[in-house]
Amino acid sequence: DDVAAIATQYLTDEIGVEEKNIDKILESCPQLQGLSVRDNLRPTVKFLVKEVGIGIEKMRKIIVCFPQLLGLSIKENLRPTVKYLVEDVGISQEKLNKTIFTHPQLLAYSVDNNLRPKLLLLQQHADIPKARLADCPQLLGYSLEKRIKPRHMLLAK
């Protein structure tokens, strides 16, 4: 339980997460209790704050709403997804930060298995230009099978 106590202490002391939110965080993401502060939590927060530019106040709120973000790999998830959103979708830095704050789960999506197929479908079949997606990246958070394709089929009739 030392790892869990250290993770909790990191969230409250270094990030400034209020004590009252710790139970909610651990309830929705119990695997956080097993993550190393040195190897996982601190590098992830540092990446999002220093490299992506998310303010620490917003980072606190994101952690409370979507603590699973702290368990994502920088190399496998965060960096490729941020790169894709900026370079391929064309999202500005300001819009990226706002999108991560309002839809942090986008960072958990696979570029190849989720985001790229959605972008292609929305561009090619729904005729939504990339610039529109850059303005409204939360569209990429919609389910391809349950929301985007059925609505596209309905509109195509």
Residue 97: predicted pLDDT? 93
- pTM of the predicted model, to two decimals? 0.85
pLDDT of residue 123: 81
Q: Please classify residue 34 by burial: count the beta carbons closer than 10 Å to its beta carbon, then call 0-12 exposed, 13-18 middle and 19+ buried.
A: exposed
**Cα 45 from Cα 56, distance rounded (Å):** 9
103: its two tokens: 């839809």
Q: What is the pLDDT of residue 157?
A: 67
- The C-alpha atoms of residue 40 and residue 92 are separated, in whole angstroms, by 27
The whole-number pLDDT of residue 140 equals: 79
As averages over each run of 10 residues, the pLDDT of the chain (157 residues) reads 87 96 94 93 97 96 96 96 94 92 93 90 77 78 72 66
Q: What is the DSSP string of 45-92?
A: HHIIIIIS---HHHHHHHHHH-GGGGGS-IIIIIHHHHHIIIIII---
d(CA 52, CA 50): 6
